[in-house]
Structure 1
Amino acid sequence: IDKRFYLNRVSLALAAAYVGASTAPASAEDSPRKLEVIEVTAQKHAQNVNEVGITVSAFNGEQLKDLGVKSSQDLAVHTPGLTVNETSATGVPLYTIRGVGFQDYSTASSSTVGLYFDEISMPYSVMSRGIVFDVQRVEVLKGPQGDLFGRNTTAGQINFISNKPTEDLEMGFDLGYNNFNESELEFYVSNSISDSVNGRFSLKTIQSDEGWQDSLTRDDKLGKKNQLAMRTMFDITLNDDATLLLNLHYVKDKSENTANTTYDGTIVGLAEYDQPYLGLADYVLPTGANFGEIPPWYSTGDATKADWTNSYTNPSTGETWDIRPQRDNELKGVSAKLDWQFGDVSFTSVTGYDHFEREEANDWDGSASVDSSNINVTDLDVFSQEFRISGETENLLWIAGVYYSKDEIDESYHYFMADSYFGLAAAAFSMPTAFVEFPITELDTTYNQQTESAAIFGHVEWQLTDAFRITSGLRYTEETRDWSGCTYDAGEGSLSNFLNGAFGASLAAGACGVVDDNPVSDTYIFNLLGTQNINDAFHLTDDQIKTNRWMGKIGADYAFNKDILGYATISHSFKSGGFNGANSNTTSQLVPYDEELLTSYELGIKATLLDGSMQLNASTFYYDYEDKQEADVDVTFVGNIAGLTNIPESEIIGAELDLNWFPTDNLTIRLGTAYLDTEIKEWEAVDVSASQWPNTVYRDASGGTLAQSPKWSHNILAKYEWEVGNSYIMDVALDYSFQDDTSGGVQPERATESFSTTNVRVGIGSILGTWRVTLWARNVTDEYYYQAAYRGGNGPYVRTAGLPRTYGVNFNYNYF
């Protein structure tokens, strides 16, 4: 079907929705209960979410608790168009909105989705894995914003807004327990400290000493949790015109990570495995003791079954490493927001600093073999400062400001691969490669990345008539990113021995092992072969990229009446380029990828119907996507490994519908659906089968779809509540979500199947809201599903399964 024809049809559907909305009967007798209006700050000032001419999915704190949202990843289940997945075992969540995402597992990769916590940007998604707690609301802004938000992004934003300090005493707690022996406690207290200072302290902890995953090959469980998050806020009145909000926050996470499940790739049209690894020898070699049997670590259909490696001892040095999937992450931060009123002009300063560090182990291959495991040691500092002024007259609202940010990442990515094809498996399988004589057992990739960004921006909302408003914004950004790094021999000599044997070098243990394969370089490997300077071809890479870009938006909205708003926007945004932080063999892998550009055209309507008891929002959009940043493969002297590139041209067409409705005083209905049609228009991707280093062959990859772009996604919630006597209120709720399958882009091993989950809960509490008990069950049908699939490092194909059926009880108490 022609996509522009589709866009026209959807536009007509929106017009029909307006006609139906404007003529729908409104009867106070039939639907007397009105929907709660959520106030958002999607455009840096307070607005009714139904009066903002952009597409926003908003959840208040109570809705998030009801839906069991404990992390930013949980939001995706209840937000059509938003997906959160992983494409590796490095502990980095990847966010995608409407097909706009970057499937890179490196810590140093900036997210296409802007992540903001109390107006402070978290530019690296690894920082977002903390607990969501004591939240006033969450806003998911869909599409490029183009003007008001600090770090350049293309997909949209997710804003987390915390509850603020109160003058009167408020306090409460929430206790929970589930069938995996997981307990949680959330607590808050808020009150005035003095005549000019209000304070709020909140915390949440989740503890489990058992876990939920069972090893397929031994008596071992995985999934213990030890999470703590705290926040202290002070709302200080400086004088009659100025206030200062201080926010001190801390997150500590010493939990175990999720293990992958290995499966036979032939069930999805792939080979059984990509490359052999040592654990397979007994099962696939005719001389193996278990030849012809199914490896016991293969599994599908049971989310609790997986496998992993607990420790590794280097055969040469005898050094033992703890590589059980686990993390020790810590985030410490402070922010300050100053609001000062000067007559008709408001001045706002937002300052933020966060320090994140972690030591985290993950298992890629889903087996007890050491085909692919890693330990990431990360130290990350992020500072940002925004100054803005704003004013408002009868017909005009304006905002202008400047933004500056600076961050630095130091990371060591220690990789274990002794049982892989590149290690001891080559000899076990009698493969004619240099790895038989010179197996590589460990690697150590270390790098430093420093990013500095500065921007100036302006935003204007002009009320031309009572019904018609024009919104426009413009932003100019300058960004510089410096990168220095190398993949080193890990100190045990295996990489150096391999390179010495393959190239005639004399590299010592611990040396940099990246080969210079740039033909115009003074240290080009093929110009130094056989010379006394051969070691010079292996060296650290230092590089810098600079980006200078304008981005902006223009929109118009028209209030057909007090309840119906139609809007149209054109917005343009970019995401700066970056560097590959994964293991590398050649300098060509470390050439930076370019910035990506996205131009969005969107039409939408927001209709408040049935005397305020129904809210119907619908939108349709077309994205012109240029130089999309994407994962591909790099051709190296050891084979094809992970690489990053740009897709020159692609496009996305889609539509969304969001419905909130009180059919009766007792019944709540919430419905959301999203449709996506993505297409790669132009891309010469690497032809893996035809390429051999140093020559790379390309193939036409146009016509394919983008990764993590389900054609359909839906969610529906139904909640019925009624009074019990004069003192209690009881409710029963059911929510259902569905996500369509995804193609995996040009890497079929990353494809996922469609899945759905159903959650139920029953609650009873005080009619005054002081206490509530809730019994709940999530994934009540115990559906096996996975939101991530990929090649598990070097050899196997793996999936990361979602949680099985989970049920529990919560008790909530509030004093106010």
Structure 2
Amino acid sequence: MKRVLIGASIGVIGVSSVAPAAETRAVTEATTLEKVVVTAQKREESAQDVGVAISVLSGDELQARGVTNINQLQNEVPSLEIEPAFGSGQSQFRIRGIGFQDYGPNNSSAVGVYVDEVSYGFPVQTQGLLFDLDRVEVLRGPQGTLYGKNTTGGAINFQTRKPTKEFEGDVSIGYSSYDTKTIQGFLSGPISESLRGRFSYATEQGGAWQHNRETGEKLGAKDISAFRGQLELDATRDLKIALTASYGQDKSDAQGLYLFTARPHYGYAADTDLTATGWGRTAAFSRMIGVSQNQKPTKDNDSTNVALTVNWDLDTVKLTSITSTQNFHRRELSDWDGTSVNNADVYWKDDANIFSQEVRLASNKTTDLNWVVGAYYSSEKLNEDWYTDFTRDYGVITRTKYKQDGETQALFGQLDYKLAQNWKGIIGVRQEHEKRTISDFSTTTTPVQAWANVAGASSSLSTDGTSGKLGIEYQLDKNALLYGSVSRGIKSGGITAHNTFNTYALTPFEPETLVAYETGVKADLAVNLRLNASVFHYDYHNQQFQDITQSPSGALIGKIVNINSSAVDGGEIELNWIPLSGLTITQSLGYKHATFRDFKSLQLGDLSGKDQFMPKLSYGGSVAYAWGAAGYRFKLAGDYSYHDTYKSWLNIVNPDGGNVYDIKSYWLANARFEVSQVGAPWQVSFWVRNLFNEKYDLTRNFFGNRPGGTSDDLNVALAGQPRTVGAVLNYAF
């Protein structure tokens, strides 16, 4: 069996089952950077030949670094941020500052997430395990002329490993701090001469690193498992059919929140121990959702995904069809006040069903003209039923229910043409129609309050949009590419589906559009030194923002609104260097500066000309050294990342003194040591994550409750995990 590590920003070392002397040379004499093959443009090509800002991480490197959840990618890729909303499964993705904040699950993200070219319709679907991956490609900037979905921020594309023509298998068993146990493995090989199969499995168990500050009970244990089965059939020499089915289940504890300021009215001091939290709920709320009063915050989610991919080689053209269905069920109990006081306990019940069909026709042979045209259709259905316990402050429990139907139809295409020696032009266009409808919307209260009940409400949004791309590339020499582009992306509009008592909140918000101007260079300065850099300017219109609006009656209502005009400027630099045999160094730097050009907010005031609320700087890197001695292979590796201060608009909404809702800047560092015997199928890794036990937050928020007229706001934060240590045994066969 042969396994090769790849990475656009990660050093590579090939390992194969060959003679010990040859294998030792492969480990100790690796001084040339590997070619990284990507499919970002729907064909296999070197990442260095693609005029797009893209970062690639191999599946082997992700596994070695312990990246098993998509949220962890923000520590590996420049200009990428992933913020969990109140610690729930509703992640909020941002690339170059382009993102979307909404704790509700019904609206699409500005960043597309794909697995084997199948789009995940809702961000809440993305929290399953990452395992048995070939690579992840992170593209920055608007996407849509090559993709089924249209996005303004970018795309995160996961490519799984495929069935092999020879039998092989692998299993990894890990144990780490807080009694955490992990298993990953796969079996792959031929079933018949024309049929191949692959079965992959992963699970995480244990790891409760939080505790109840009042009872000492542990919280945070994982109970998450995932399976994937794949079949590949060579129906004929030119017709290949692939069927993939996956299932994931998550019965883990939900993460708790801690108090970063005191609540003297309720007898709580500020938590100095970031692993402290609390929970508890009223008897009425517990009966309503069917749990005990002392039930931990927990998840009970599952997902089933099936995709059928057909590739038909028609000589000069290639026909591709991708048909998929996704079913996602979410049952999640969260304690948003982080105490036994019942200020905000939440229970989510979501059921989502998504069908999509993509058909593409593409040129099949590299010529002066390469092109792809396609059609995309998706249908999304979401049923939501969620409860919030406001008994302590408002004397009611709210229940919000609705159904949402969404439909997307799109035609897209892109071509590149050799204009002259070393010059290439790119043009792409997309036309789409989208419709979203919310029906049977209701928010009711227990006990019933006549003034606070909405029933049978509905809302809909239908839009048409055109997006596209113009690009130019110049091959300076065989090792250096210069590129520039102007592209226009569109993010879907939507409907704010929070627990509202005013139907005006359901007025749709419009799609946002982004015109991106970008230029960059990709250069292999030597066989062992690679430097990629890009700069950009974004004109941002109708940016979607979680704010408030005023109804015709004069009432102020929480709602997602559109900002007239904004701008973002910035860039990234990525370096990959092998200065001497076995030593690999990577560096990445991202910077962005965003402003509101025209934004007058009822909640925040006139912010026109002011900076937007986002971190400006991201920095990361890694150092790895591999060597061989006495018939063994050794590798010592470390990686690190810096996250800049994240300023929050909540400081304006609730001026509690100082910028208490800002997330302070922080560093994270990890280290690992790997050892294996030359010619043997095993490897042992010892690792430390959050090496210096950095205390940091992933998000901060508040509930503006001021009991008795005192300033006693519920200020809560979601803490990052403290230092953990562990070991992994890997056996390949």
TM-score using structure 2 length: 0.91
- Indicate if the aligned counterparts of 1:472 and 1:554 stay in contact, CA closer than 8 A: yes
Give the alignment of 1:328-343 within 5 angstroms. Answer: 328-343=300-315
Residue 372 in structure 1 maps to residue 344 in structure 2: yes
Letter in 2 for 1:802: G
Residue type of the alignment partner of 1:798: V
Aligned match of 2:628: 723
1:361 equivalenced with 2:333 (yes/no)? yes
Report what 2:260 is aligned to: 263
Partner of 2:493, secondary structure, is: coil
| Distance in 1 between residues matched to 2:211 and 2:423, nearest whole Å | 60
Query: Which residue number corresponds to residue 173 of structure 2?
Result: 175
Shift of 1:751: 2.7
1:62 deviates by: 1.3
Provide the secondary structure at the position in 2 that maps to 1:589. helix
Whichever residue aligns with residue 738 of structure 1, its letter is Y
The answer to whether residue 465 in structure 2 is matched with residue 495 in structure 1 is no
Kindly tell me: are residues 110 and 315 of structure 1, through their superposed partners in 2, closer, same or farther at Cα, counting changes over 3 Å?
closer
**8 Å CA contact 1:174, 1:813 repeated in 2:** yes
In structure 2, C-alpha distance between the alignment counterparts of 1:175 and 1:481, rounded to whole Å: 45
* Alpha-carbon offset, residue 303 of structure 1: 3.0
1:737 pairs with 2:641: yes
The CA distance in 1 between the partners of 2:260 and 2:556, in whole Å, is 21
* 1:532-571 equivalences in 2 (<5 Å): 539-571=455-487
1:190 aligned onto 2:188: yes
Tell me the number of residue pairs that the alignment of Structure 1 and Structure 2 aligns: 688
Shift of 1:66: 2.1
2:282 corresponds, among 309, 312, 337, to 312
Partners of 1:371 and 1:793 within 8 A in 2:
no
Pairs within 5 Å for 1:577-616:
577-610=493-526, 612-616=527-531
Q: How does 1:401-416 map to 2 (within 5 A)?
A: 401-416=374-389
Shift, 1:638, TM fit: 13
Counterpart CA distance in 2 for 1:639 and 1:65 is 51
Q: Tell me the residue number matched to 1:535.
A: none
Cα–Cα, structure 1 residues 365 and 767, in superposed 2: closer, same or farther, change >3 Å? same
User: Deviation digits for residues 697-726 of structure 1, max 9, x if unmatched?
Assistant: xx312233333x31111001001111021x
Is the 2:152–2:514 Cα contact (8 Å) retained in structure 1?
yes
Quote the residue 2:371 is aligned against. Answer: 398
Instruction: Quote the Cα distance in structure 1 between the aligned partners of 2:286 and 2:84.
Output: 33
1:711 to 616, 624, 627: 616
Question: What secondary structure sits across from 1:63 in the alignment?
Answer: helix
Contiguous gaps of at least 5 residues in structure 2? 1-27, 653-659, 706-712
Report the Cα offset of residue 583 of structure 1. 0.8
| Inter-CA distance 455–650: structure 2 relative to 1 (3 Å threshold) | same
1:48 to 34, 46, 49: 46
1:789 aligned residue (691, 696, 700): 700
Paired AA for residue 572 in structure 1: R
| Cα distance in 2 between the residues matched to 1:550 and 1:166 | 41
Give yes or no for contact 2:403–2:441 (8 Å, CA) kept in 1.
Answer: no
CA deviations over 1:297-323 (Å, ceiling 9, x no partner): x214x33222222x4212998997445
Shift of 1:486: 3.2
Residues 672 and 685 of structure 2 are in contact (CA less than 8 Å); yes or no, is this contact kept in structure 1?
yes
Separation (CA, whole Å) in 2 of partners of 1:319 and 1:559? 62
Correspondence for 1:518: none
1:808 is matched with which residue?
726
Out of 666, 669, 682, the position equivalent to 1:771 is 682
The one-letter code matched in structure 2 to 1:784 is K
Indicate the SS of the match to 2:224.
Answer: strand
CA gap of 1:594–1:385, structure 2 versus 1, over 3 A, is: same
Distance 1:488 1:469 in 2: 56
Number of the residue aligned with 2:64: 66
User: How much does 1:616 deviate?
Assistant: 0.5
CA deviations 1:158-193 (Å, max 9, x no partner) are 000000000101101011111110100001000100
Distance 2:239 2:677 in 1: 39
Q: Structure 1 CA distance, aligned partners of 2:110 and 2:680?
A: 39
Contact 1:720 1:733 in 2 (8 A): yes
Q: Tell whether the 8 Å contact from 1:365 to 1:793 is kept in structure 2 after alignment.
A: no
Q: Partners in 1 of 2:72 and 2:288 — Cα distance?
A: 42
On the 8 A contact 1:558/1:567 being kept in 2, the answer is yes
**Counterpart Cα distance in 1 of 2:144 and 2:304:** 29
C-alpha distance in 1, partners of 2:715/2:463? 37
Aligned amino acid, residue 282 of structure 2? Y
Give distance in 2, aligned partners of 1:89 and 1:146. 30
Of 407, 425, 442, which residue of structure 2 is paired with 1:470?
A: 425
Q: Which amino acid aligns with 2:647?
A: S
Per-residue deviation, residues 39-74 of structure 1 (Å, max 9, x unmatched): 111111111011100000001111111222111111
The answer to whether the 8 Å contact 1:168/1:190 transfers is yes
Give the Cα separation in 1 of the matches to 2:113 and 2:498. Answer: 23
Match of 1:221 among 218, 223, 231: 218
Shift of 1:324: 2.7
Aligned with 1:751 (options 662, 675, 680): 662
Deviation track 1:136-155 (CA, whole Å, cap 9, x = no partner) reads 00000001124111122110
Matches within 5 A, 1:16-415: 33-208=31-206, 211-264=208-261, 280-283=264-267, 295-296=268-269, 298-300=270-272, 302-309=273-280, 311-314=281-284, 321-322=291-292, 324-391=296-363, 392=365, 394-415=367-388
Letter in 2 for 1:760: A
Shift of 1:224: 1.3
| Equivalent position SS for 2:124 | helix
**C-alpha distance in 2, partners of 1:393/1:220?**
62
- Secondary structure in structure 1 of the residue aligned to 2:265: helix
- Shift of the 184–632 alpha-carbon distance from structure 1 to 2, 3 Å rule, reads same
Aligned-partner SS, 1:168: coil
Q: CA deviation at 1:345?
A: 1.1
Contact 2:399 2:443 in 1 (8 A): yes
Q: Which has more radius of gyration?
A: 1
Rounded to whole Å, the distance in 1 between the matches of 2:215 and 2:701 is 25
Residue deviations 1:556-599 (CA, integer Å, cap 9, x gap): 11111111111101110111210112110211211111110000
Determine the structure 1 residue equivalent to 2:15. none
Distance in structure 2 (CA, Å) of the matches to 1:58 and 1:644: 33
**In 2, Cα distance between equivalents of 1:793 and 1:90:** 20
SS of 2:125's equivalent in the other structure is helix
TM-superposed deviation, 1:747: 5.3
Change (3 A) 1:493 1:236: same
1:799 partnered with 2:705: no
Does the CA contact (< 8 Å) of 1:77 and 1:737 recur in 2? Answer: yes
CA distance in structure 1 between the partners assigned to 2:690 and 2:432 by the alignment? 44
Cα gap change, 1:782 to 1:684, in 2 (>3 Å): same
Once residues 773 and 31 of structure 1 are traced to their aligned partners in structure 2, the CA distance between those partners, rounded to angstroms, is 22
The 1:766–1:317 alpha-carbon spacing in structure 2 relative to 1, beyond 3 Å, is closer
Q: Which amino acid aligns with 1:41?
A: T
Are the structure 2 counterparts of residues 408 and 666 from structure 1 closer, same or farther at C-alpha, using a change threshold of 3 Å? same
Q: 1:160 to 1:320 in 2, by over 3 A?
A: closer
SS of 1:592's partner is coil
Contact 2:86 2:718 in 1 (8 A): no
